[in-house]
Amino acid sequence: MNKTLRILLILAGVAMIISGIIKIVGALGEETAGATIPFETSIELNDGSGNPVATLVTRGIRADEERQVTVAYTLTNRGKRALTQLTFDVRYFDADGNDLRGKAIFVMIGLMDQPLQPGQSRDFEKTHYFDGAEKAAAVALEPEGVLDEVELVPWTEPQPGNLLLDFCNYAPFSAYFENLDANPPVQMIYHRDEQVDETITDVDAILKEIESLKNMRIGEESDISITDSGISYWFTMADGTEWGVSFETPGLFCWHGKVYEVIH
């Protein structure tokens, strides 16, 4: 066998090996598509005195399809009272640490209908949609607030067809609307997915928005869910308390994990 033929056979063998590796890698990629990416982190939430209130653990992230990523969490109540609400920001990163979103996504977990009692843990998932979501490999969590109540107000079912406050029929929520003279708002943050948050400090403008919300009529529960167009209004009051109202779109009001039609 001459030298030229030997070289050609060697090159052909190398090409076959490379082709085989590419096929294996491709098969592995197809096999792991949609699989949960092993990843775990946790944040501790404390009250104003530094006492532990809750632990939020990220158990895994899953990129199911283009623009969709789902994160699985475990929330544990480490406080002495029932936990009723958790708010935090989440940022998504690819395997190289590049920020896939460029800004935080605001997340609110309402627990008022099923409060998380001291010592209890609860698993839940949150899904977000954005370009490049299929590359998600890690998340960074930034806690915003955690709420518990010394005396839990009895939970009542929503009353469709009524104005917002009668629909919700929940005293702590209604109190913000009813005590505006004694405890006026000082700031409102308007958040909409895919847009930069807008911070408003003009009290008259904020009161006008609150009045608009108060006069909104809410209908029946909707079977439509649009999770990539979330809207929220987050208010800070003069006494430092914060509260918010959330929508999936302008026509779908979010209340305790469900969405209801906005009549007008």
Q: Tell whether 134 and 169 lie within a shared domain.
A: no
Q: Tell whether 122 and 59 lie within a shared domain.
A: yes
State percent of the chain over pLDDT 70.
80
Task: Classify residue 42: in a domain, yes or no.
Answer: yes
Average the pLDDT over 114-136 and give the result.
87
Q: Tell whether 130 and 215 lie within a shared domain.
A: no
Please give the residue that has the higher pLDDT: either 87 or 189: 189
pLDDT digits (tens, 9 = 90+) for 127-158: 888 888 888 888 888 887 787 765 556 667 88
Task: Classify residue 190: in a domain, yes or no.
Answer: yes
Q: Tell whether 56 and 129 lie within a shared domain.
A: yes
Q: Tell whether 67 and 126 lie within a shared domain.
A: yes
Q: Tell whether 40 and 130 lie within a shared domain.
A: yes
Predicted confidence band of residue 36 (pLDDT cuts 50, 70, 90): very low
Q: Is the pLDDT of residue 24 over 50?
A: no
Q: Tell whether 99 and 178 lie within a shared domain.
A: no
In the block, which residue shows the tokens 């109202």?
245
pTM: 0.55
Predicted confidence band of residue 31 (pLDDT cuts 50, 70, 90): very low
User: Last residue of a domain, which of 123, 148, 173?
Assistant: 148
Task: Classify residue 56: in a domain, yes or no.
Answer: yes
Task: Classify residue 128: in a domain, yes or no.
Answer: yes
Q: Judge contact between 127 and 136, C-beta under 8 A.
A: no
Whichever domain contains 132, its CATH number is 2.60.40
Q: Tell whether 68 and 42 lie within a shared domain.
A: yes
pLDDT value for 165: 93
User: Last residue of a domain, which of 148, 174, 193?
Assistant: 148
Q: Is the pLDDT of residue 15 over 50?
A: no
Q: Tell whether 177 and 127 lie within a shared domain.
A: no
The CA distance from 134 to 97, in Å, is 14
Predicted confidence band of residue 249 (pLDDT cuts 50, 70, 90): confident
CA separation, residue 200 to residues 103, 108, 231 (Å): 19, 20, 15
Q: Among candidates 177, 192, 167, 170, which has minimal Cα distance to 260?
A: 167
Q: Is the pLDDT of residue 23 over 70?
A: no
Q: Is the pLDDT of residue 32 over 60?
A: no
Task: Classify residue 10: in a domain, yes or no.
Answer: no
User: Last residue of a domain, which of 148, 179, 204?
Assistant: 148
Q: Tell whether 118 and 70 lie within a shared domain.
A: yes
pLDDT digits (tens, 9 = 90+) for 194-236: 778 899 999 999 999 999 999 999 999 988 777 667 888 989 8
The CA distance from 165 to 223, in Å, is 22
Q: Tell whether 187 and 253 lie within a shared domain.
A: yes
Q: Is the pLDDT of residue 50 over 60?
A: yes
DSSP letters of 181-248? TTS-EEEEEEEETTS--EEE--HHHHHHHHHHHHT-BEEEEPS---TTS-EEEEEEETTS-EEEEEEE
Task: Classify residue 18: in a domain, yes or no.
Answer: no
Q: Please, which residues bridge with residue 219 across strands?
A: none
Name the token pair of 53: 């209130």
Structural domains of the chain, count: 2
> Which structural domain, as residue segments, surrounds residue 53?
36-148
Task: Classify residue 5: in a domain, yes or no.
Answer: no
pLDDT digits (tens, 9 = 90+) for 64-112: 777 888 899 999 999 888 888 888 888 888 888 888 877 777 777 777 6
Task: Classify residue 129: in a domain, yes or no.
Answer: yes
Q: Tell whether 131 and 190 lie within a shared domain.
A: no
Phi-psi region of 169 (alpha: psi -120 to 50; beta: other; left: phi over 0): left
